Structure 1
Amino acid sequence: MTATPARPEDLSARIAAALRDAIVQGRLIVDQRLPSEAELSEQFGVSRPTVREALKRLAAQSLIRTQRGASGGAFVNRLSFQEAQAQQITTSTLLLSMNAISFETACEARFALERACAPLSAQRRQAPHLEAMQTEIARQSDPALSDEAFCASDVAFHRALVDGAGNPVLSYQLAGAVEAMQPLMNMITFTARSRERIVALHRDIADAVASKDGPGAGDGLLALEAETLRLGRDVFAERERNKR
């Protein structure tokens, strides 16, 4: 019985994983030039097109960058938290869409994470964060605002609150919670919610942050979580009634 030869895409994935591990473990450092395609081809015992595909995988993850010219090649990239946020959001969205995560579970996780930011945001927020929250509250108060625009404004409000904590690690970690989970919740609850109630809760949270009242901001998020859970229960109950 003979083993099935590995497909080129499998080999490229393995090579990409090996190079990614070397970057993560510090064996390949920021701005270091990777071996050439020919050298990597010899090192891993594969064709150059397979190596090229592995490098494309790493570039897609922003782990390496390529430069042309005599001094060109592939170099280890300096990945910033801001650049990585898009990947975090995409991964979170895929996880939520591909797995049976209940509305309650997503809601619990999303608000528990954001409440961790509330006291820090109340102490560290800067004028632009406060202005952003007030701007979004004003937008949300416009009765002519579409549901899609209200959802986008909702996300922007919470991003301003999270970013007000002044901690790039928290902002990165919560990017998926806010920008993946929040639209999911809005998509489920928008038919049942009262915009006036949501705006009032947002205003309470923003006022607490402006007053450097961390516990007050946390209480506002607790009230918003309770309202979101109530809306979710109402929507699902209505769906069940319509099935009968």
Structure 2
Amino acid sequence: MQAFTPVRQLRVTEDMFEQIFSRIADGSLKTGERLPTEREMALQFGVSRSTVRETLRMLQHSGLIRIKYGSQGGAFVSTDDWSPVSNALRMILRLNQTPLTELLEARKFIEAASAKLAAERAGEDDLAKMRASLEEMKANLTDHAVMNEANTLFHITIAQAAGNLVLLATMQSLQRLIEKSVDELVNDLNASHGLLSAHNEIFDAIVKRNADAAQAAMNRHLESIERQARRWLLANRASAKTVY
């Protein structure tokens, strides 16, 4: 790998961050690749190891690297972590006291479009993942933790199958904000059977490559969740403003 260049002292961490980001963006550093050690980077950049650690923290908080510990540890390039996006979105929405129902409304349009595209573009691997999520839900109808995890995976797999990175990034960012509230909603309403039935309907339409039916089924499913959310928020009015 090409060595990094020494940085200007007045904006050391910013220069380091920009160099590493540029390498990730242009593909010189690929997902899963390990960065040089702290010592190696300190020598290449001409800075202290504490400055290297500060820059690594910035990269980690930006979702560009993952830090692993132990004998096989280090800083590894990551390009599939949307948590910084959802965290920034969460702060903006909370500052503006945006209600959960608006998040659900936005999610409905995004996921309905994803379902339509998934019916047109899903590969066999995508369908297998969706099927596995449904089987996991069916086998664990009374285990809310497993149900919620399988529910999330089902929706994310559809977004991935749509083959549109913008839809996927937006959906995953919204999903992170919504999932805690929806988890409580599903538990509170004991809606596991209804959830599985709705998912089966969506999946059947995707398997049949019926894009309009998949979009309509996802719309019905999320409209039902939205109606249930409104009832749940009325019953839990005190916590509604900070639900996400």
TM-score where L is the length of structure 1: 0.68
Matches of 2:170 and 2:210 in 1, distance apart? 23
In the TM superposition, what is the alpha-carbon distance from 1:149 to its structure 2 partner? 0.9
Let me know the Cα RMSD of the aligned residues.
3.9
In the TM superposition, what is the alpha-carbon distance from 1:228 to its structure 2 partner? 0.9
The 5 Å alignment of 1:30-109 reads 30-31=28-29, 37=42, 40=45, 48-57=48-57, 60=60, 61-62=63-64, 83-86=78-81, 88-89=82-83, 91-92=85-86, 95-96=89-90, 99=94, 100-109=97-106
Matches of 1:182 and 1:217 in 2, distance apart? 22
Deviation by residue 1:149-183 (Cα, 9 ceiling, x = unmatched): 11001001112211212345543443323344234
In the TM superposition, what is the alpha-carbon distance from 1:97 to its structure 2 partner? 7.2
CA distance 1:187–1:118, shift in 2 (3 Å): same
Q: Does 1:230 align with 2:227?
A: yes
Contact map agreement 1:58 1:64 (CA 8 A) in 2 = no
Deviation by residue 1:179-238 (Cα, 9 ceiling, x = unmatched): 442343222343125222221211111111111111111111211121111111111222
Q: Does 1:201 align with 2:206?
A: no
Equivalent residue of 1:85, what SS?
coil
5+ residue gaps, structure 2 = 1-8, 30-34, 68-74, 239-244
Contact map agreement 1:136 1:154 (CA 8 A) in 2 = yes
Q: Aligned residue pairs: how many?
A: 211
CA distance 1:13–1:198, shift in 2 (3 Å): farther
Matches of 2:190 and 2:88 in 1, distance apart? 26
The 5 Å alignment of 1:112-151 reads 112-142=109-139, 144-151=141-148
Contact map agreement 2:140 2:147 (CA 8 A) in 1 = no
Contact map agreement 2:115 2:162 (CA 8 A) in 1 = yes
Q: Which residue of 2 aligns with 1:71?
A: none
- Which residue identity lines up with residue 196 of structure 2 in the other structure? V
Answer with 1 or 2: which has the greater Rg. Answer: 1
Contact map agreement 2:41 2:52 (CA 8 A) in 1 = no
CA distance 1:136–1:204, shift in 2 (3 Å): same
Q: Which residue of 2 aligns with 1:211?
A: 208
Q: Which residue of 1 aligns with 2:172?
A: 175
Q: Percent identity between the aligned chains?
A: 14
Equivalent residue of 2:189, what SS?
coil
5+ residue gaps, structure 1 = 1-11, 42-46, 66-74
- Which residue identity lines up with residue 131 of structure 1 in the other structure? A
CA distance 1:58–1:13, shift in 2 (3 Å): farther
TM-score where L is the length of structure 2: 0.68
Q: Which residue of 2 aligns with 1:166?
A: 163
Matches of 1:14 and 1:101 in 2, distance apart? 36
Contact map agreement 1:89 1:180 (CA 8 A) in 2 = no
Matches of 2:154 and 2:89 in 1, distance apart? 24
Matches of 2:22 and 2:103 in 1, distance apart? 32
Deviation by residue 1:69-99 (Cα, 9 ceiling, x = unmatched): xxxxxx9x8x5xxx3333x135415743782
Matches of 1:144 and 1:198 in 2, distance apart? 10
Q: Does 1:156 align with 2:139?
A: no
